[in-house]
C-alpha cells in the first residue's frame, strides 16, 4: 500500500527557554492511500497539532513530513499553499464561512482562485456534491439559515471541490447532535469508499469506531494503535467497545 503521508520523528515546540514544551515529541506516523484513520487522546495530547503538521498547515521544529514523495519543508510557501488547496481538504468543528455569501458561493469560493473562466463548471460540480450530501435545496440560503449539520455538509462539499487525495477533519462532529454526527460519518465513509483517504481528530469513540485505524496519543507521542476491519454497517456496539477498552488500557 502506498503511503501518501509520512511523518518522521516530528518535533513541534512552543515557548522558549524554561517555558519550552514539545507538543509533538518525536512522533512518527503515516497515512496510506485511501486509508480511514482517527487520532484520539486527551486535550493537550497533540492530536490536532499532529494533523496540522502532517498537512503542512504548521511547520515542525525537527523531523520531516513527506507528502506524495515530497518533503513539505523543502517546498515554497506558494507551492505548499497549492498542494493544500488542490490535494488536501480540510473540515473543522466550526466551518468557516463568509456571512455575505450564500451556501453555494461559500462552497465554490476557494476553487475559483485562478479559474473564473471555469465558473460554470465549478458551480455545477458544487451542485453535484450538494446533492450527494443531501443539501441540494439549500444553495441560495444564507449561512445563518441552515442547521449546524447542514453547514458541516457544506464544509464537506467545499473540501471535496478539488477532488483531494486526503480529507483532514478536526473534531468535525464535535458540535453536532448524535443524529447529525452519524449522518456526517456516513458521508465520510462514502468519501473513503470512493478512494479518498480520511484522517479525523476526535474524542468520540463512536466516531473513531467507524475508521479502520486509530492512533492514540498522550503527552505528544503515539502510545498505541488499534486496527479495525472496514465498517460494513454491522456490530457498531462491538467496535465502540473495542475502542473504549483500548482507551481504558492506556489510560486516556
The predicted pLDDT at position 114 comes to 58
Q: Strand 70-71 to strand 88-92: parallel, antiparallel, or no bridges (unpaired)?
A: unpaired
Cell readout for 125 is 460540480
Question: Domain 3-250, what fold?
Answer: Rossmann fold (3.40.50)
The predicted pLDDT at position 95 comes to 82
The predicted pLDDT at position 117 comes to 67
Alpha helices in the chain (DSSP H): 47-54, 77-87, 103-108, 119-132, 148-160, 178-193, 205-208, 236-250
Torsion of CA 127, 130, 134, 136, to 10 degrees: -40
- DSSP letter for 252, please: -
Do residues 61 and 12 make contact, with C-beta atoms less than 8 angstroms apart? yes
Mean pLDDT, contiguous 10-residue spans, the chain (252 residues): 94 85 95 97 94 95 95 92 93 89 94 74 94 94 94 94 95 90 93 96 96 97 97 93 95 86
> Of 49, 63, 39, nearest to 217 (Cα)?
39
- Residue identified by cell 482517527 is 38
Full-model pTM: 0.92
The predicted pLDDT at position 124 comes to 95
Amino acid at each position: 500500500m502506498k503511503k501518501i503521508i509520512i511523518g518522521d520523528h516530528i518535533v513541534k515546540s512552543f515557548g522558549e527557554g524554561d517555558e519550552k514544551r514539545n507538543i509533538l515529541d518525536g512522533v512518527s506516523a503515516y497515512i496510506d492511500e485511501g486509508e480511514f484513520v482517527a487520532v484520539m487522546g486527551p486535550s493537550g495530547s497533540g492530536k490536532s497539532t499532529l494533523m496540522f503538521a502532517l498537512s503542512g498547515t504548521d511547520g515542525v521544529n525537527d523531523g520531516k513530513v513527506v507528502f506524495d514523495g515530497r518533503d513539505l519543508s523543502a517546498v515554497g510557501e506558494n507551492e505548499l499553499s497549492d498542494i493544500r488547496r488542490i490535494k488536501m481538504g480540510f473540515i473543522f468543528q466550526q466551518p468557516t464561512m463568509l456571512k455575505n455569501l450564500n451556501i453555494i458561493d461559500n462552497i465554490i469560493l476557494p476553487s475559483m482562485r485562478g479559474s473564473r473562466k471555469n465558473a460554470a463548471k465549478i458551480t455545477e460540480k458544487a451542485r453535484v456534491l450538494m446533492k450527494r450530501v443531501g443539501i441540494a435545496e439549500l444553495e441560495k440560503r444564507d449561512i445563518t439559515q441552515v442547521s449546524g449539520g447542514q453547514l458541516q455538509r457544506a464544509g464537506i462539499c467545499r473540501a471535496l471541490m478539488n477532488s483531494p487525495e486526503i480529507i483532514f477533519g478536526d473534531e468535525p462532529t464535535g458540535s453536532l447532535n448524535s443524529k447529525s454526527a452519524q449522518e456526517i460519518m456516513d458521508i465520510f465513509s462514502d468519501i473513503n469508499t470512493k478512494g479518498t483517504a480520511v484522517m479525523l481528530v476526535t474524542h468520540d469513540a463512536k466516531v473513531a469506531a467507524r475508521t479502520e485505524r486509530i492512533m492514540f496519543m498522550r503527552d505528544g507521542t503515539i502510545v498505541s494503535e488499534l486496527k479495525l476491519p472496514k465498517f460494513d454497517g454491522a456490530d457498531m456496539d462491538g467496535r465502540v467497545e473495542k475502542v473504549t477498552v483500548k482507551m481504558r488500557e492506556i489510560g486516556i
